[in-house]
Amino acid sequence: MTEVNKPPRVGGWTRFVTARPRLSLLAALVLTVLAVLAGSGVADRLGAGGWEDPGAESTYATKALEREFPDSQPNLLLLVDAGGASVDDPAVAAQAARITASLSAEKGVTGVGSYWGSKSPALRAKDGHEALIAARLTGDETEMGETLDRIAPSLRGRHGPVEVEIGGLVAVRHEMQTIIKEDLTRAEMIALPITLLLLVMVFGSAIAALLPLGIGIVAILGTNAVLRGLTEFTDVSVFAMNLTTALGLGLAIDYALFIVRRFREELSTGADPLTAVGTTLRTAGRTVLFSALTVAVSLAAMLLFPQYFLRSFAYAGIAVVLLAAAAALILLPAALVLLGHRVNSLDLRRLFRRSGRPAPSEGTGWARTATLVMRRAPFFALGTTAVLVLLGLPFLGVKFGTADDRQLPSSAESHVVQQHIRDGFPGNPGGGLDVLAEGRATETQYATYKERIAALPDVLRVDGPLVKGDSAYFTVQPKGEAVDDSAQRLVGELRATKAPFDTKVTGTAAVLVDSKDAIGEQLPWAAAFIAIVTLLLVFLLTGSVLIPIQAVLLNALSLTAMFGAVVWVFQDGHLSGLLGFTSPGSIETTLPVLMFCVAFGLSMDYGVFLLSRIKEEYDRTGDHDEAVRHGVQRTGGLITAAAVILAVVMIAIGTSRVTNTKMLGLGIALAVLMDAMVVRSLLVPAIMRLTGRATWWAPGPLRRFHERFGVSEGGENPPRGAGLNRQAAPPRGATSHDGPADENGDGSAHAGSGVRAIR
């Protein structure tokens, strides 16, 4: 037997993961049960905030005010509606006083005040029929949520002549947390059966279809346990659970699709199950591991940002990616060894296939598409690029804001209350700016500073100062909205105003300004990190200098439609009625960063699948055009199926009633579909046709570096263009590439060289 005809050697990692498959699966079952127990109640420990920079001036001032002047930072608002009566009516005032006293007596509540006690015009509605009671709940987010659950039933509803509704930051975040948990459960109920149906359509076999779903469930449950552990040491956002579900199902299905399909192909060549698993792990397994690293790199970039909202997605994303890859590379091979040829059992497609009619050749349509694209490469390259750029143009008008009650559905109680306050109260209570003054000062100095603030063009009113020891604070009401351009400009003006003491500015607009500054400061580093590591990883895969640059640029280009749609739909409000959300007129500052990191990583996931197949074929034949055509043929269907399944999961997440979650789910679904169906199918083959054989060039030192450290599918890394020293490439369109009968196109369907296609 010649070297090329030897069956793949079973050893190393294959022997490790398949030595005792039943024991491996039993251990996995035990670990999964433990993960369920460890991750139980994780949603109750997650926070609904995390958009602020913990090291910013506004954060310091907020904490100082909470410590020195707890009454200055109310986070609970009771909207007291007197119906048609005036809030100054004696009966209304008496009832409001009783509610205020009752609230003051509650444990965990401090700083209770009201319009009836202070007569502040900011706490009285313009029409005189509504007024506010303000208070502060103490403790962390979990403790405040528990306090709110305890006191809300006795506060909410009819009290004699008045009706009470609950709002404020605590109520908004608590209601958001509750809705996200409910929506996530509903999304899982929607996504799982549809995903299973699609997998059955892809595989035909019901047994094969269940394997990717099982891997996804293991990854999700394991990540929940990881997040539960992290909550003991750091803050974690409740929004991260959505990413856990989406990536857990999506990536686990991607990886399992790749591995199961390759395993079935090996069986079809006559290999026994153990040998088929060995070949699968050396080919598809290596690509899965490489793909997982590229996705993890994109997600890890969010660790560079100080906001725990972004860091939480990095925690969840990295955990779920690594767990999905580990399950696909450890548990799945064990299951495949035990199943053997039974992996093809329950072929449901036979019910719909006409008897005697042969199955179509694999990937024939994708081969024709690739041939057409490469024949008209300039047209497709320029046309596709122009369309993608055009779709991204709305993002040039992006306006950044903060997440508030408008993230909630219009029927949510806290949203209703906050909207009443915005529309009906003077000066937008709760939207003002607080100026903390630290250092001993005289009354004259405070008065002079107050006059300077009042003289600023964007100031409506200045209240204070309230003095305590060596500290004091002023409350400044902007003329416009809480976070509009004038309010953000006012933050800078206040910070530039001279004072005989140290001043720090906080408030909604100040938090936004500081958050934008923090993101702007770290964004170049995060982008550089993603670009450099991605360039290195793709170089290790391909040995080319040009392909990594193409991969990064085309991946970024594939995201333009997502960013354009985010602004056109969610900022500008188009389709808001159809999709059921209230547009705040801005995009939360951290969302574009999050969506870029997630969508870029997923695009690289598909890019690795395609490039690894093209590289393998080019190494085998040395024919650049045929390698591109063959790579699209063999991976086009797989990438599209994986993208559609992931899009289904993301769309299910996008049915959430919370706007940020809706934006995340629908935006990434669009990005994934555009990447798979436009960039991978049209733009990549067109660009690679234009660059030709120069695509594979690398200078001598880098070529030698790749020969030593590079990664390839299969065993040892073959030299670049190795196929030039073998037989010539088959003619374009030859039948050896159009069907599964001759897998490698050279008669060596069961070759042991290790550079086999992942289809």
Element (H or E) spanning 489, and its range? helix 485-496
Name, in order, each residue with C-beta under 8 angstroms of 113's C-beta and a sequence gap of 6 or more.
71, 74, 100, 133, 134, 135
Give the phi and the psi of residue 264 in degrees, each rounded to 5. -65, -35
The residues pairing with 165 across neighbouring beta strands, listed in sequence order, are 79
* Polymer length in residues for the chain: 759
Q: What is the mean pLDDT of each run of 10 residues along the chain (759 residues)?
A: 42 68 82 83 77 89 86 86 90 93 91 88 89 88 87 92 92 89 87 86 79 85 87 84 82 85 83 84 83 90 91 90 89 86 69 50 80 94 95 93 85 90 75 88 91 91 87 87 84 93 91 92 94 91 91 91 94 88 87 92 87 87 91 88 90 91 93 92 94 91 84 48 39 36 34 31
| CB-based contact 245:184 (threshold 8 Å) | yes
| CB-based contact 608:293 (threshold 8 Å) | no
> Quick one: 530 exposed, middle or buried, by C-beta within 10 A (0-12, 13-18, 19+)?
buried
- Whether the bond between 465 and the residue before it is cis, its omega within 30 degrees of 0, is yes
CA–CA distances in Å: residue 227 to residues 45, 86, 143, 221: 9, 50, 19, 10
The confidence score (pLDDT) of residue 585 equals 85
Query: Going by DSSP bridges, is the β-strand pair 587-588/400-401 parallel, antiparallel, or unpaired?
Result: parallel
Q: Following DSSP, what letter does each residue of 563-632 receive, concatenated?
A: HHHIIIIIIT-TTHHHHT----SSEETTHHHHHHHHHHHHHHHHHHHHHHHHHHHHHHH--HHHHHHHHH
Name which of 752, 648, 551 is nearest 216 in CA terms.
648
Give CA–CA dist 159/687, Å, rounded: 70
DSSP state of 133: E
Give CA–CA dist 574/106, Å, rounded: 44
Long-range CB contacts (within 8 A, 24+) of 457-462:
458/486, 458/487, 458/489, 458/490, 458/493, 459/490, 460/427, 461/427
The confidence score (pLDDT) of residue 613 equals 84
The confidence score (pLDDT) of residue 208 equals 80
Tokens of 535: 């360039």
The confidence score (pLDDT) of residue 346 equals 64
| Domains contained in the chain, CATH given | 13-52+172-219+238-342 (1.20.1640.10), 75-167 (3.30.70), 418-513 (3.30.70.920)
